[in-house]
Amino acid sequence: MENFEPVIVAFCCHYCAYTAADMAGSKRLCYPPNVKIIKVPCSGKVDAIHIMKALEMGADGVYVAGCLDGDCHFKNGNIGAAKRVAYIKKLLDEIGIGGERVEMVLMSAGMGERFAQTATEITEKIRKLGPNPVKSVNKAKTAA
Amino acid sequence: MKTESVLEKVFASGELAVTSECGPPRGAAPEKIIEKAKMLQGYVDAVNVTDNQTAMVRMSSFAACVFIKQLGMDPILQMVTRDRNRLAMQADILGAYAHGIDIMLCLSGDHPHFGDHPMAANVHDIDSVQFVQMVRDMRDKGRFQGGDDILNPPKMYIGAAANPFADPFELRVARLAKKIKAGTDFIQTQCIYNLDKFEKWMEGVRDRGLHEKVNIMAGITPMKTVGMARYMKKRVPGMDVPDELINRMAGVPKEKQSDEGIKISIEAIERLKEVEGVKGFHIMAIEWEQKVPEIVEKAGLLPRPKEFS
Amino acid sequence: MITAERKPMEELIECLRPYHRILLVGCNECVTVCSAGGRKEVGILSSALQMAFMKEGKTLDVKEITLERQCDPEYVEELVTHIDQAEAVMSMACGCGVQEIAGRFKSKPVFPALNTTFMGASERQGVWVERCQGCGECVLALTGGICPIARCAKQLLNGPCGGSTNGKCEVDPDIDCAWQLIWDRLKALGLEDRYEDNIAAKDWRTGRGGGPRKIIREDLVK
């Protein structure tokens, strides 16, 4: 693929994942600029529709980053989020977009390295998967 | 006497009754069922013919009963509520009686889930208790279930099943009471391996005097192999197979297991003969019908009374 | 509530293949409660359908509307302002709602997004279980509040059958034996004696057996 730069949307919870992103920043750890962070109060706030809309609007990959098991500031928002992500993955497989484009990841506030590493790994995975097939409609339009 | 049936006569005479069972073929040729029935001729008073057993389609019990009747034997028409509504059931009862079949067993039937047509509608227009009542009213009131008079009422001797080993145990005597209230004449139990539990059930039955209101036949199925014993213990709902039995079968070399199984059955019959309220034995040897004569003979149940057939 | 589940995406995409502009109509009642066809589910399905079309290089215009309920003509009427812009309608309500829309807008193809399943209740969050089959002659007073028609696999009125094992149904060890439940309830209520009253054969005319049913309240008819 000619110079495909994936667009990744990362929903990061305020208490852990976003703070880890901050930590990565202050430690000057590099992670790909492909990852666009959206801060949410809790990963549990992320609803199925948010993930769907991100992909519908052309994101190539989406991940939801929450607190480690048992550490969620709101008790079990991260568990709810993980279940929703699993549900969406199945739906995406059903429509042929592919559940691999969506992930749930867990980390603690101090894990700057993990934030950077996850961002890098997911970007590479999506790069290999190729662009989100919904973009075919734009190709078809330009071809027409 | 409520009917002209052989079975009623044997019970009335005070003799222990003996019945066995045949499964119709999964095809339209009658040879197999005739062959199986012939093996039992002279060793039983009457023979059950199963009705789409385990929810697998087979030649209808009615048709197979007719072939058995033609051999000069007395068939017991088994009918389940799973496959027919009350119109079809009453129609078949009229037809069967017209063919000289005058004993039947009223059952619910295994769920279609277990069989070869799990996608079929699960009828159960009526349940087994209502079924018994319907057949009794056809006989004693001369009326259809819907209320109209029957031109020539069929006089069926009515049987039902009882399972002392199903859950909940505390309900099993009450369930028998319900079936007796509905009009059951005789009972065939699920095959008995746990003799202690059976005797406990019979105690409950006798406490309420139910053993005098209905003729109870103890179900016996000989074990062929230890594998069969284990399968029945683990996989068949409503079956109670004690570990001692499995160990006994396992303790015997493979070639000798079927003989051991027969021995166990005969011992069970001898013990059950002593249980007050047991009026007969229903020997189910599915696909092993050739062993029934040996069991009947060695259990001292010969000769079968000839004067009633 | 009436419960339902979304049909497989493949089936829905196939239905809508010939179209470019559809109305996707949700319902705020039963299907919202069982998370199958409420506003939320409309949004998710709309997005999924659009992505499926885009993947093929096509577009699907989806107008999302959630009615208060689809089983009352007054609410279905609200679609009048949008119906002309749509080539087809996909309803996320139970079968009742789909039919009401189809009956009102006869010139538009109307498709069901869901498979309507049963009348049930929430056992706990995310789990719905069958409780009623609309037999038309409720026997719950006789059975301690547990329905043998809906909850017994053989709809026995004088159960249990010989397959009841450890309080579970022979068909599925995850299904409670309805008659075990009934017996336990009768015991708890001190009504064990009722067990031996034989319940008579059911008159299925009050149920589906008599044909499609209708209720008329003369005092309410205009």
Tell whether the model's pLDDT for residue A3 goes beyond 90. no
Tell whether the model's pLDDT for residue A39 goes beyond 90. yes
Q: Cβ B128–C158 below 8 Å, yes or no?
A: yes
The residue of chain C with its CA nearest to that of B108 is C161
In the prediction, which pLDDT does B167 show?
83
- In which band, very low, low, confident or very high, does the pLDDT at A140 lie, cut at 50, 70 and 90? low
pTM as predicted: 0.91
Alpha-helix residue ranges (DSSP H) falling in C56-209? 73-76, 80-83, 95-104, 148-151, 178-188
Q: Cβ C47–A53 below 8 Å, yes or no?
A: yes
Say how far apart CA A90 and CA A97 lie, in whole Å: 10
The residue of chain C with its CA nearest to that of A93 is C9
Chain B residue numbers touching C156 (CB-CB < 8 A) = 108, 124, 127-128
Rg of the Cα trace of chain B? 19
CA B263 to chain centre: 22
Q: What are phi and psi of C174, to 5 degrees?
A: -90, -10
- What's the average model confidence in pLDDT over C183-211? 94
In this structure, the number of other CB atoms found within 10 A of the CB of residue C222 comes to 2
The residue of chain C with its CA nearest to that of A47 is C40
Chain C residue numbers touching A58 (CB-CB < 8 A) = none
Q: Which of A52, A53, A137 faces C54 most closely, judged by CB atoms?
A: A137
Q: What are phi and psi of A11, to 5 degrees?
A: -85, 115
Dihedral angle sign, alpha carbons of residues A113, A114, A117, A123: negative
Q: What is the crossing angle of helices B243-250 and B226-235, to 10°?
A: 160
Name the neighbours of A, counting chains with at least 3 Cβ pairs within 8 A. Answer: C
Task: Answer whether B160 touches C (CB < 8 Å).
Answer: no
**Predicted confidence (pLDDT) per residue in C12-53, tens digit:** 999 999 999 999 999 999 999 999 999 999 999 999 999 999
- In which band, very low, low, confident or very high, does the pLDDT at A141 lie, cut at 50, 70 and 90? low
Chain B residue numbers touching C196 (CB-CB < 8 A) = 174, 177-178, 181
Q: Which of residues 147-186 of C touch B (CB under 8 A)?
A: 153-167, 170-172, 177, 179-180, 183
Q: What percent of chain C has pLDDT over 90?
A: 95
Residues B264/B229, Cβ–Cβ less than 8 Å: no
Nearest CA to C178 out of C150, C204, C202 is that of: C150
Tell whether the model's pLDDT for residue C123 goes beyond 70. yes
Rounded mean pLDDT of chain C? Answer: 96
In the prediction, which pLDDT does A112 show?
95
In this structure, the number of other CB atoms found within 10 A of the CB of residue B22 comes to 29
Architecture of domain C2-118 in this structure = 3-Layer(aba) Sandwich (3.40)
The domain limits of chain C are 2-118, 134-210
Chain C meets chain B (3+ C-beta pairs below 8 A): yes
Task: Answer whether C17 touches A (CB < 8 Å).
Answer: no
Nearest CA to B280 out of B223, B215, B233, B221 is that of: B215
Chain B residue numbers touching C157 (CB-CB < 8 A) = 127, 129-130
Q: How far is C132 from chain B (nearest CA, A)?
A: 17
Structure ipTM: 0.91
Task: Answer whether B113 touches C (CB < 8 Å).
Answer: yes
Token pair 């709309």 is at which residue? C46
In a mutagenesis test of the C interface, which of A46, A47, A49, A62 is the best target, namely the one with the most C β-carbons within 10 Å? A49
Say how far apart CA B279 and CA C105 lie, in whole Å: 70
Q: How far is B109 from chain C (nearest CA, A)?
A: 9
Chain B meets chain A (3+ C-beta pairs below 8 A): no
In the prediction, which pLDDT does B134 show?
98
Return the H-helix or E-strand segment holding B260: helix B254-273
In a mutagenesis test of the B interface, which of C158, C184, C208 is the best target, namely the one with the most B β-carbons within 10 Å? C158
Rg of the Cα trace of chain C? 22
In the prediction, which pLDDT does A73 show?
93
In the prediction, which pLDDT does A142 show?
60
Q: Cβ B124–C167 below 8 Å, yes or no?
A: no
Name the neighbours of B, counting chains with at least 3 Cβ pairs within 8 A. Answer: C
In a mutagenesis test of the A interface, which of C44, C56, C125 is the best target, namely the one with the most A β-carbons within 10 Å? C44
Nearest CA to B23 out of B292, B286, B290 is that of: B286
Say how far apart CA C59 and CA A72 lie, in whole Å: 40
The residue of chain C with its CA nearest to that of B173 is C196
Say how far apart CA A49 and CA C45 lie, in whole Å: 9
Say how far apart CA A115 and CA A110 lie, in whole Å: 9
In a mutagenesis test of the C interface, which of A52, A57, A83 is the best target, namely the one with the most C β-carbons within 10 Å? A52
Q: Which of C154, C177, C198 faces B108 most closely, judged by CB atoms?
A: C154
Tell whether the model's pLDDT for residue A131 goes beyond 70. yes
Token pair 């069991």 is at which residue? B295
Domains of chain A by range and CATH? 8-143 (3.40.50)
- All residue ranges of chain B with pLDDT < 70 are 309
Task: Answer whether A49 touches C (CB < 8 Å).
Answer: yes
In the prediction, which pLDDT does A138 show?
64
The residue of chain C with its CA nearest to that of A140 is C57
Q: How far is B80 from chain C (nearest CA, A)?
A: 11
The residue of chain C with its CA nearest to that of B190 is C162
- In which band, very low, low, confident or very high, does the pLDDT at A1 lie, cut at 50, 70 and 90? low
Residues B82/B143, Cβ–Cβ less than 8 Å: no
Residues B104/B76, Cβ–Cβ less than 8 Å: yes
Q: Which of C153, C183, C201 faces B111 most closely, judged by CB atoms?
A: C153
Q: How far is A13 from chain C (nearest CA, A)?
A: 22
Tell whether the model's pLDDT for residue A144 goes beyond 80. no
Task: Answer whether C127 touches A (CB < 8 Å).
Answer: no
The residue of chain C with its CA nearest to that of A48 is C44
Nearest CA to C133 out of C69, C182, C35, C204 is that of: C204
Task: Answer whether A98 touches C (CB < 8 Å).
Answer: no
Task: Answer whether C56 touches A (CB < 8 Å).
Answer: yes
Q: Cβ B238–C156 below 8 Å, yes or no?
A: no
Token pair 């009125």 is at which residue? C157
Task: Answer whether C48 touches A (CB < 8 Å).
Answer: yes
Own/partner long-range contacts of B224-230 (Cβ < 8 Å, ≥24 apart):
B224/B257, B224/B258, B224/B261, B224/B288, B225/B249, B225/B254, B225/B257, B225/B258, B225/B261, B226/B250, B226/B257, B228/B261
Task: Answer whether B15 touches C (CB < 8 Å).
Answer: no
Task: Answer whether C125 touches B (CB < 8 Å).
Answer: no
CA A6 to chain centre: 12
Name the neighbours of C, counting chains with at least 3 Cβ pairs within 8 A. Answer: A, B
